[in-house]
Chain A
Amino acid sequence: MATKKRNRLEVIRDILTVIKQKSGTVKPTHILYKSNLSYAMMEEYLGELIEKEFIVEEMRAGHKKYSITEKGIQYLNKYRLITEFSESFGLG
């Protein structure tokens, strides 16, 4: 069965959803497993999400962990508005 390639906004939504579903904090391996991305791509997206302040990186007991922020939750809540507006104006 042919599947449609995800666009950037969908990948960002998927990563934030993975973090939110795990009580708001996860290890990078869990994101890698659930988001269906290569390691390099995941690192790139995590960097972008940190820059946009949607997630924060923390060190807990020597392990990296990522937590979703209020801004990240707001992105998920308004996801449809963002995608519909972006797609309407050809910026999807």
Chain B
Amino acid sequence: MGDVYLIPAWFLGFDAAMNLLFSVVTFAIALVAHHVYRISAERNIRHLSAGFLLIGLSYALWALNHLVLVGNITGEVIAFSLEGLPTWWSVTFYLHMALFVGGLATITYATLKVRRGDIYYLLLGLSLLVIASSFKIFATFRIVSMFLLSFIAYHSYKEYLFFRNRKTLAVCGAFVLLFVSSIMLIFAASYSDAYVIAQLFELGAYSLLLIILLRNILKYGNKKKKPA
């Protein structure tokens, strides 16, 4: 099994900070979604909240993981591998993958708008099993993520065609950026610059999601419907 991914040493601190930021944005989306669920009692919104919560936790772990290594690394490029690294690093890496894919599977389930626990079980189980049974865990993790992200982006685009809401199109754009980021991360196994580019795509995606979230809160958060 080859290197998991390569990161330029100068980028390690930025990477930790960016992942912390992604974590904050996804936690904020999860919190607002939970608030909307409390008012609307819509199950798919609860699933959306849970999905973003899992993704937020995965980013927080990733940030913590890299934060610990800042200042302890020498050389221009760091080669992260599942072999030859401390156990705690491997454990947090596996947890990061499980939480991220779990979050994406939960969001995918929310978009299906069904009340079938067995479908969720199948979706989550298959996604995790494919990764766990692979010899190229990192690449398989990214491919599964790409597949789920492409489904969510396609679903958002279909919803945009129905509602013609520009915010839906922006969310679709954010998931497309995350999809491209996942492709770049596969190349990060050979090129360290690919990792930096991937993180910049993710930054674009979460900036878009944050803007949409803030627009929703500021415009409709405290507004009450006028009495009829």
Contacts and interface: CB of A to CB of B under 8 A. Distances in A.
Interface in B186-220: 212, 216-217, 219-220
B7 to A, nearest CB: 31
Given A84-B220, A87-B168, A91-B42, 4 more contacts: A54-B41, A80-B225, A81-B39, A85-B45
Given A87-B163, A87-B168, A90-B156, A75 B39 contact: yes
5 contacts: A86-B42, A88-B167, A90-B171, A91-B110, A91-B113
B127 interface: no
Contact of B33 (A75, A78, A80, A85): A85
Interface of A: 9, 17, 20-21, 52-54, 71, 74-82, 84-92
Give the size range of B's interface with the partner: 35 or more
B45 A90 contact: no
Contact of B225 (A53, A76, A86, A90): A76
A81 B219 CA distance: 8
Interface in B92-121: 110-111, 113
B14 to A, nearest CB: 29
Nearest to B36: A85
Contacts of B217: 81
A91 B111 contact: yes
Nearest to A51: B41
A92 B224 CA distance: 20
Most central of B36, B40, B156, B167 by chain A CB within 10 Å: B40
B41 A89 contact: no
| 3 closest Cβ pairs, A-B complex | A81-B220, A90-B159, A52-B41
